[in-house]
Structures are given as C-alpha cells and as structure tokens.
Amino acid sequence: MDLKSSTVLITGGSSGIGLEIAKQLLEKGAKVIVTGRDRAKLDEAKAKHPKLEVIQSDVADSKQVETLKQAITSKYPETNIVINNAGIMRKINMHENRALEDVTREIEINLMGPVRMTQAFLPHLKTKPEAAIVNVSSGLAFVPFAISPVYSATKAGLHSFTQALRIQLKGTNVRAIELAPPGTDTPLFTGDEFTKEDTAGPKPMPVDELARAFVRGLERDVEEIRPGVSNGLKWLSRIAPDFAVNMLGKSAQNMRH
C-alpha cells in the first residue's frame, strides 16, 4: 500500500505498539489519528508528536464507536486505513472469584471492539480506491497462553474473524490484514500485570522493531504479518499442537484455588 498518501486511524494509539506504529507512519508522510480512553495519555502522545491527531474514544462502547465514525468521516474523510489495535491483557485465574461483568472485559475490547469498528467503518472504506482494515491479534492467536485464557481466546477469535472478513472482502478495494505480534516490550506485556516468571521465555521484541516489521508488511501487501516468535508459534501449532499448548501453559500449572 502507498502509505505516504494514506490517512490512518489507530485505536489504542496512545501507548505501546499503536503509538510506535503511529510515529513510523507519520515519518512515512501519512496522516495519523489515534484513539484511547485516557485523555492524559492522548495529550502526552500529542505533545511528543505534534502532527498526531488524537480523539478520546472507547472501543468497548458502541455509542462511542458510532460517534468516532461520525467524527472521522466528517473531519478526516480521506481516512483509508483503520488499525484495530486497542487491547488489554490480564492474568486470569478461573479458580478465583471475579465479577461476571469483569471477567469478560478482554472480549468487549479485544474482540467485540474490532468487530464493531469493522461494521462501522466498512461502508466508508469501500468508497476509497485503496483501503485496509488491520486487526492486531497476537502469536497467542495460534497457541493459548494458559495464564491469560480470556485474552488468548479473544486473539484466536480475532484471527478467525479476520480470515472470514478477508473472504467477504475479496473483489473489493478493502484488504483485511492481520498483525500478530510476538511478546513485545510495551506496558501490556512488561508492566505490572505479569511477573518475570510469568513471561519467562524469548526476550520481548523491541517495539520499534515490531512496528518496522508491520510497516514493511503493509507496504508489501502481506496479509498476515507474523514477526519473530509469532511465525514459529503458527507453525508449531500445526506440527505439534499439544506440545505447543503445554509449553505455553507451564506458568499456569500453579494456578489453584
């Protein structure tokens, strides 16, 4: 895709992978708008990258997605790429009590968010000569990480949704692209939610390296971008699926009630 003449909307672009992709796309000459829930984080991103446009919006809220669509189509009608990147990842021990509305939070954000965004933005994207919907899944879409069972399920679901969407979009000007990052050095993976033991294994990929691999893939029209360990996980899940699940499940073996 030609990125220089593109206008890109990135959900969850105030931190981590989304912010780094925004920065690299700005460097390519694209126009970039990012969203997030926390106003202070958005303001900080804007202060660091004055060319960035920021909009406060929560992908878990259908009304806010509708308002976002109206804001984008009226203020930035040239938008031709939507990157569904917003996500959260928690350690969830299913033996422990948790409020029922809380235990499904990842599903609301990581899976229902991209589905809502796709439904809302597809009619607009279809009016552009060259457009794309990018869904940010994970290497855990291919093999679950047992200490984050709900998160892993959302990413497997998002992978499946993207495959199906790609078929429905065949013959249109809109591409369905998946970015499946490996463990990456951002607050989501290296923050307080997980201990060092939880995330022991391959070193997280530096976020600038991950974003470069994505931008290169987007420029070359790669449909499923699987940097680093994610590519290995995809193949391992086919060659030795039980081995792969047990390998990533080791850190959950002590989760008892």
The residues assigned a catalytic role are: 151
Q: Minimum distance between the CB of residue 17 and ligand NAP, rounded to whole angstroms?
A: 4
Q: How many residues bind ligand NAP (CB under 6 A)?
A: 32
> Please, which residue, 7 or 184, has the CB nearer to ligand NAP?
184
Q: Is 202 in the site for ligand NAP (CB under 6 A)?
A: no
Q: Is 87 in the site for ligand NAP (CB under 6 A)?
A: yes
> Please, which residue, 64 or 73, has the CB nearer to ligand NAP?
64
Residues in the chain: 257
Structure tokens at 155: 């990413």
DSSP character at residue 160: H
Q: Which of 29, 187, 202, 206 binds ligand NAP (CB under 6 A)?
A: 187
- Residue at token pair 């949704």: 161
Q: Where are the beta strands (DSSP E) in the chain?
A: 7-10, 31-36, 53-56, 81-84, 131-136, 174-179, 224-225
Structure tokens at 231: 């590519």
Q: Which of 52, 109, 120, 132 binds ligand NAP (CB under 6 A)?
A: 109
- Residue at token pair 């307080």: 192
Q: Which of 189, 211, 215, 237 binds ligand NAP (CB under 6 A)?
A: 189
CA neighbor of 6 nearest in space, from 130, 118, 134, 170: 130
Q: In what order do the strands lie in the sheet with 7-10?
A: 53-56, 31-36, 7-10, 81-84, 131-136, 174-179, 224-225
- Stretch 18-37 residues interacting with ligand NAP (CB under 6 A): 18, 35-37
Please answer whether residues 158 and 137 qualify as being in contact, where contact means their C-beta atoms are separated by less than 8 angstroms.
Answer: yes
Q: Is 78 in the site for ligand NAP (CB under 6 A)?
A: no
Q: Minimum distance between the CB of residue 5 and ligand NAP, rounded to whole angstroms?
A: 26
> Please, which residue, 201 or 249, has the CB nearer to ligand NAP?
201
What residue ranges bind ligand NAP (CB under 6 A)? Answer: 11-18, 35-38, 41, 58-60, 85-89, 109-110, 136, 138, 181, 183-184, 186-189
